[in-house]
Structure 1
Amino acid sequence: MPRDLISLDIQQKTYIEARLTNEGPSLALAYFFWLFLGIFSAHRFYLGRTLSAVLQVISYLFVVGIIWWIIDLFLLPDMVRERQDEVRRRIAERL
């Protein structure tokens, strides 16, 4: 959990985690997009990484994108975790 959320009480943290479950990204869905719609960089669009998604789609024209797509297999957990932290911070700011 990000350091700025440490000062929250248990009830607030539970609330944030419940909202994250509903609003945050899913690792399983990110992998689904990667596997079935990876050529369109759907997983990156899903995680809010629009610029890198567009660059990835363009790079597919030059075959480099295929390598990038394979690398994303290993990067997805961290990308999802970062996006979840953003959602946590956004929810905590509303409290």
Structure 2
Amino acid sequence: MMSPSRIDFVSLLEGGAGVTIYVLPLGETMTNDRTYAQYDIEKKSLLVAYVLWLFLGYVGAHRFYLGKPLSGLMMLSFSGVVLLLSFVSFGVLGFLWALVALWWIIDALLIPGMAASRNRGIADRVLGRR
């Protein structure tokens, strides 16, 4: 399938607002519009992932969002165990929060790769590449 040609027009009468018109080759239709729209709906945003990481990252919320429920559950469980041990030991084992913080900081570097992997999987499924 050939891709449509793009023609940009700028209207001087309407304050310079631009209009984009797509011209399709003869006999072609825009059947892929729905498919690409579905991908845009389902793809994961880096901004949302980082906001979740910033505020709820210590419990793995960003991992659940990015389609990694097992590691998200592990992070949630680990944080819960550290919280419980901190309370039971009256703060003596509070240094274990450093391990949670280390995992949280490393995840900041892993988020772009997790998002790209998830979006690639979504694209493969939605666009029928598999």
TM-score (norm. length: structure 2): 0.57
Matches within 5 A, 1:43-82: 43-60=62-79, 61=82, 62-63=96-97, 64-82=99-117
Unaligned runs of 5+ in 1: 1-7
- Mapped to 2, the partners of 1:81 and 1:69 lie a distance apart of 19
Q: Does 1:87 align with 2:122?
A: yes
- Mapped to 1, the partners of 2:107 and 2:32 lie a distance apart of 30
Higher helix share: 1
Q: Which has the larger radius of gyration?
A: 2
- Mapped to 1, the partners of 2:125 and 2:66 lie a distance apart of 15
Higher strand share: 2
Unaligned runs of 5+ in 2: 4-29, 83-95
Runs in 1 of length 4+ with deviation above 3 angstroms?
Answer: 8-18
Does the Cα contact within 8 Å between 1:16 and 1:91 map onto a contact in 2? yes
TM-align CA RMSD:
2.5
TM-score (norm. length: structure 1): 0.75
Q: Share of identical aligned residues, percent?
A: 36
Does the Cα contact within 8 Å between 2:50 and 2:111 map onto a contact in 1? yes
Amino acid corresponding to residue 38 of structure 2 in structure 1: R
TM-superposition CA deviations, 1:35-91 (whole Å, max 9, x none)? 011122110000110110111122232432221110011100010000000100111
39-48 or 13-22, which moves further after superposition? 13-22
